[in-house]
């Protein structure tokens, strides 16, 4: 159980940021990687977690992490 909590708190936000970065680089769109993270997080919430409504906070956190990764990547790409 401790490994699962560590994965939810550390692993999934890192994966969300990476999806935001690489999705923006490859797809040249800031919103599509964010949508992927949002849909995947909601699916994870209902399948693995069992529909626990408190996990919705983490869904929002993962989506914001993906947005920050995509936004920063888009700004660095625009500067170079």
For residue 3, pLDDT beyond 90: no
Cα–Cα distance for residue pair 1/20, rounded to 1 Å = 28
For residue 44, pLDDT beyond 80: yes
Burial class (CB in 10 A: 0-12, 13-18, 19+), 66: buried
Residue 7: predicted pLDDT: 84
Residue 37: predicted pLDDT: 94
Residue 73: predicted pLDDT: 94
Residue 50: predicted pLDDT: 82
Residue 45: predicted pLDDT: 85
Question: What is the number of helices (H) and of strands (E) in the chain?
Answer: 4, 0
């Amino acid at each position: 159980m401790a490994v699962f909590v560590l994965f939810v708190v550390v692993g999934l936000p890192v994966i969300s940021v990476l999806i935001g970065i690489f999705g923006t680089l490859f797809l040249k769109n800031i919103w599509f990687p964010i949508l992927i993270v949002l849909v995947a997080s909601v699916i994870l919430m209902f399948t693995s977690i069992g529909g626990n409504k408190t996990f919705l906070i983490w869904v929002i956190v993962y989506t914001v992490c993906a947005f920050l990764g995509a936004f920063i990547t888009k700004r660095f790409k625009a500067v170079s």
